[in-house]
Structure 1
Amino acid sequence: MKITSSDTIIKSLLFEKVEFIFGYPGGAVLHIYDALFFSKIKHILVRHEQAATHIADGYSRSSSKIGVVLTTSGPGFTNCITGIATSLLDSSSILIICGQVNKNLIAQNSFQEINNLGIILPISNQFFSINCYYNIIYIIKNSFNIFNFKKGPIIIDFPKNLTSSLNKNRFKFPFIKKKKNKINKNMFIFFNFSKRPIFIIGGGSVTIYVYNLILKFINNLKIPYTISIMGISGVNYRSKFFLGWIGMHGDPVANILIHYSDLLICISTRLDDRITNSIEKFSPYSKIIHIDLNNDSMSKTIKCNLFYKDDIKNYFKNYFNFNLKKNWWKKIIFFINFFKYNYKNDFFYCKPQQIIEITFFLSKGKFFITTDVGQHQMFTAKYYFFNYKKFITSGGLGTMGFGFPSSIGIKFANKNSKILLFTGEGSFQMMMQELSTCKQYNINIFIINLNNQSLGMVKQWQEINYSNRYSNSYVFSLPNFKKLINSYNFYCFNFYKIKLFYFFLKNVIYKNIFFFLNIYIDNKENVLPIQIFNKSMNEFIHFFSLKKYDKKFNFFI
């Protein structure tokens, strides 16, 4: 029996167990939408194509599924670019099916025609352009096969005439062998000589198998470990070997000890500039080993002494010996106690740290947490303690507007789970049109808007580096959030005092209702510590000066 090209696309997606497609219709994909009308796949209509990619991204990251986006040619596809770049830099699995004008109109400046390949090639995992409708089944199957060994966005470009009902072929699914990575039998030659080792665990390790494997390995050898911001929720926060997360706003203990380590074992992390600060001054006393499945991530910014493209489990199955100095653990314990002081509590006004700690206490860490980008993102990472795979944020690209649509995607993937979004008034306004999507599909999300009436992270940098010249960092034209949210028949409440917030949250946090809590926080509160630009890992601005203690620290005894 022969079926149309559009039916072939839908059946191929069904074969891959696709449940949802997130998209926005347009002329170049109407044949596909017509086939979708009769299928079992549920289409979720977004209000902006960028939101579709973020929703698919959140859907993918919070589950083991692939997020699928369907968009039209021209402006529909170009609206997806920010979401595609976000997916690439955070290594999430999304498939974008985009329309294109008829084959005979390509390269003629036709209506809604754009050079999709030329635009997207640098920020995509793979790009396929269909040149014959007989290739449809193979290319869709091959795309899903690629996700098995390399994460990132894949784009399939469909000229409209090749999706027409006039093109018919037999639906015969191809068999594609999965690629297997060869096991590298080289041993880590630096292990036996290391006395101050530390593990750095990145976002690529956030799978349940690797999660358990790493913890077992670390507990056996009693090695301290740190994480990147993307590795949050991929480790055990309560482990006595956990030092915190590293980077620009990372934990002081983790940053200092990374600087003085003599061996860094980096697992599934790019070691980008937000981790390393100055590349030349990064961990000057250490040898570096990098384990990753992605060639593009290894020795990219920091030159590694050894690097292996392999599955992590192939290394942790072996037992390695370390000769840890007792003095190393003494220094670790000292710094953990030394940096316990964080911030001053305020029992009247709302401080963002208190808001997040109260939320963690009342939610017991059971919620999926997603954030936008800015100060609230850093506060959340520092003061909320996450369970496995519960923290989803834009780390690589730092996309403002990511949080709200990604939380919608998380809800579609985890229907019975509670979703909590921490956002800021600047980020929320970038994607607030998706309130309409929430209303249409009855999506209940808990949103906490930490409203400091400014672009907080920009303002903080202007205070530190630009002598308090607040150039365009204050938002003087904020909407009335209560009226805005109420116009969609959702609940919204404003808070100015911490006690009222606590008692209100205690009563409503487990209710299955869309809530938007607009909390006016102290706009003078900044994220600390913060590394000093172009300095080493152990040089940062904290709640107090560290310089007078420098001479007391000797890591080489």
Structure 2
Amino acid sequence: MKISSSKSIIKSLLSENIEFIFGYPGGAVLHIYDEIFKSGIKHILVRHEQAAIHMADGYSRSSEKIGTVLVTSGPGYTNCITGLATSNFDYSSILVLCGQVVKKLISQNSFQELDNLNISTTIIKNFFPLNCYYNIQYLISKSFDIAKNKKGPVVIDFPKDLTNNIFKIREKYPFIKKNKLKYKKEYINFNFKRPIILIGGGIKNFFNFFLLDKFVKTSKIPFISSFMGLGGFNYRNLYYLGWLGMHGDACVNNIIHFSDFIICIGTRLDDRITNENKLFSPYSKIIHIDINKESISKTIFCNNFILIDLVYFLNKNIKKKNILNWWKFIIFLKKFFKKKYKNEFFFCKPQQIIEFIFYLSKGKMFITTDVGQHQMFASKYYNFNYKCFITSGGLGTMGFGFPSAIGIKFANKNKKILLITGEGSFQMMMQELSTCKQYKIVILIINLNNQSLGMVKQWQEINYKNRYSHSYINSLPNFKKLINSYYFYSFSFYNLKKFFYLFKKIIFKNIFCFINIYINQKENVFPIQIFNKSMCEFITFFSIKKYEKKFNFNYL
């Protein structure tokens, strides 16, 4: 039996168990859209192509499925670039089907024709230009395999004439064979006194989640997380100490500074983790376990690396020295740098708001955030269950949160989704309110409104002597009227007590609700590391750097 090339595309997607396509139609992909209309496949119409990528990103990260996007040529594809870079940084499995002008017009500066390959080659895992219509089935199959295993965006470029219904090909789906790895248990010896395990976003796999728990409890080595690793483990694990980085826990940044052996699992060791590379963890040897060779010794030289699947390493048994004194030192640091903030009864404190949300939700909601101060407050004061934290960590894309929350809801229909955002980020993608109305999406949105670009303002206070150059927003909309115009529920609060009573009721309702909370403008995220210094040097926190030489490391 022979079928049209456009129908073959849809058939190939269905063979990969695709549930949704997020997209926006245009002239170069109308053959495919016509076939979507005939097939009845679930297509989600977005209001901006960037939102389609973010929705597919949230969908993929919350479900371990491949997020699929369909956009047209030219501006349709260039609108996706920010989303592609976001998913590439955070290793999200996405397939983008992109339209292109007919083959004979390529490279002639024709209408809506761009060189998509060279535009995006540095921010995607692979790019396939369709040259022959009979390659369609193989390219889609291959693309899904790459997106799943390499964890990143893959793009297929479709010239419009090759998706025409006049081309008929044999209906035969080419499944790609996957080799199964065999694992065997081995022993490895650690001849170190102050070991630490550092996990990153690469740990977020359902199988690895339980293996990590078992590995840590067996080895009894304490572990810490990068910002992207949050939600990749059981936060109730007694060996978990917190997360490190620029705005991370002060005690954790000190712990990794004084460690003598670091086991890095699924992390890039980027600049937000290491600060000044030359001063990062001066006493330690580092081994790096990763499946992606490009992440090994990218910023910090590793004494040894294991380029293998994480499951193989976690199945190993550990032999190590007694680290009782190391644990005593860790407990001392944990008590010394206990997280504190001053309670305020006259203003809404973002820290209190996040702690209230965790108390009422018991950590059972999917949390997604935009980028800024609210993102840091959420990560510091909310304890995330497995895979319940989704944010833009690598690229830091403002506007990511709202469309990703919609994508998460499509993947988890019976789960509660909470978006924590700021007024600056929300305005970048608020046109997707129309998408929520069309598809009856039910999510909760907490807008921590300080009427400024919070993180920019904080840096201007610290580094530019309070010269607030374009960091305040003087023309904010009336969010309540905006949300109500889409016939959604909306509330505004200045009082913490009133918010608490409302959220207690709303959390059990199956409605779309936007809660705008005016918070103290002067509230900043601390600690913050001093630029180009070691991990244990902070602003507004006591630093033990000057006492470093007095520590007896032979005793520890």
TM-score normalized by structure 2? 0.97
Q: Deviations over 1:437-479 (max 9, x none)?
A: 0000000110000000100001111111111111111111111
Alpha-carbon distance in 2 for matches of 1:44, 1:87: 19
Matched, 1:169 2:169: yes
C-alpha distance 195-499 of structure 1, shift in aligned 2 (>3 A): same
Which secondary structure state, in structure 2, belongs to the residue aligned with residue 158 of structure 1?
strand
For residue 436 of structure 1, what is the aligned residue in structure 2? 434
Query: How far off its partner does 1:544 sit?
Result: 4.9
1:527-546 aligned at under 5 Å gives the runs: 527-544=525-542
Which secondary structure state, in structure 1, belongs to the residue aligned with residue 39 of structure 2?
coil
For residue 39 of structure 1, what is the aligned residue in structure 2? 39
487-496 vs 336-345, greater mean Cα deviation = 336-345
Which secondary structure state, in structure 2, belongs to the residue aligned with residue 3 of structure 1?
strand
- Whether the aligned pair in 2 keeps the contact of 1:184 and 1:308 (CA below 8 Å) is no
C-alpha distance 128-341 of structure 1, shift in aligned 2 (>3 A): closer
Alpha-carbon distance in 2 for matches of 1:139, 1:254: 45
Alpha-carbon distance in 2 for matches of 1:238, 1:367: 16
For residue 66 of structure 1, what is the aligned residue in structure 2? 66
Structure 2: runs of 5 or more not aligned? none
Structure 1: runs of 5 or more not aligned? none
Alignment-mate amino acid for residue 121 of structure 1: T
Alpha-carbon distance in 1 for matches of 2:372, 2:552: 36
Alignment-mate amino acid for residue 119 of structure 1: I
Query: How far off its partner does 1:519 sit?
Result: 0.3
- Whether the aligned pair in 1 keeps the contact of 2:185 and 2:315 (CA below 8 Å) is no
Query: How far off its partner does 1:348 sit?
Result: 3.1
Matched, 1:17 2:22: no
96-105 vs 303-312, greater mean Cα deviation = 303-312
Alignment-mate amino acid for residue 260 of structure 1: F
Matched, 1:240 2:238: yes
Query: How far off its partner does 1:145 sit?
Result: 1.5
For residue 153 of structure 1, what is the aligned residue in structure 2? 153
27-36 vs 543-552, greater mean Cα deviation = 543-552
Query: How far off its partner does 1:40 sit?
Result: 3.5
Query: How far off its partner does 1:104 sit?
Result: 0.1
Alignment-mate amino acid for residue 111 of structure 1: F
- Whether the aligned pair in 1 keeps the contact of 2:199 and 2:229 (CA below 8 Å) is yes
Matched, 1:285 2:280: no
Which secondary structure state, in structure 2, belongs to the residue aligned with residue 149 of structure 1?
helix
Query: How far off its partner does 1:327 sit?
Result: 2.0
Query: How far off its partner does 1:140 sit?
Result: 0.3
Alpha-carbon distance in 1 for matches of 2:530, 2:182: 42
C-alpha distance 254-310 of structure 1, shift in aligned 2 (>3 A): same
Which secondary structure state, in structure 2, belongs to the residue aligned with residue 370 of structure 1?
strand
Q: Of the candidates 365, 373, 376, which is equivalent to residue 374 of structure 2?
A: 376
Alpha-carbon distance in 1 for matches of 2:283, 2:363: 37
1:346-425 aligned at under 5 Å gives the runs: 346-425=344-423
- Identical counterparts, % of pairs: 68
Q: Of the candidates 514, 517, 527, which is equivalent to residue 516 of structure 1?
A: 514
Alignment-mate amino acid for residue 407 of structure 2: G
For residue 99 of structure 2, what is the aligned residue in structure 1? 99
- Whether the aligned pair in 1 keeps the contact of 2:364 and 2:385 (CA below 8 Å) is yes
Q: Deviations over 1:188-241 (max 9, x none)?
A: 5xx431110000011111112111111111111211100011110111212221
Alignment-mate amino acid for residue 285 of structure 1: Y
C-alpha distance 403-94 of structure 1, shift in aligned 2 (>3 A): same
- Whether the aligned pair in 2 keeps the contact of 1:47 and 1:437 (CA below 8 Å) is yes
1:192-231 aligned at under 5 Å gives the runs: 192-231=190-229
Query: How far off its partner does 1:549 sit?
Result: 6.4
Alpha-carbon distance in 1 for matches of 2:269, 2:545: 27
Query: How far off its partner does 1:542 sit?
Result: 3.6
1:135-146 aligned at under 5 Å gives the runs: 135-146=135-146
- Whether the aligned pair in 2 keeps the contact of 1:149 and 1:179 (CA below 8 Å) is no
TM-score normalized by structure 1? 0.97
C-alpha distance 315-548 of structure 1, shift in aligned 2 (>3 A): closer
- Whether the aligned pair in 2 keeps the contact of 1:2 and 1:170 (CA below 8 Å) is yes
Alpha-carbon distance in 2 for matches of 1:278, 1:228: 16
For residue 450 of structure 2, what is the aligned residue in structure 1? 452
Alignment-mate amino acid for residue 40 of structure 1: G
Alpha-carbon distance in 1 for matches of 2:408, 2:206: 17
Q: CA RMSD in A?
A: 1.6
Matched, 1:258 2:256: yes
Matched, 1:77 2:77: yes
For residue 6 of structure 1, what is the aligned residue in structure 2? 6
Query: How far off its partner does 1:341 sit?
Result: 4.2
- Whether the aligned pair in 1 keeps the contact of 2:187 and 2:316 (CA below 8 Å) is no
Aligned length: 555
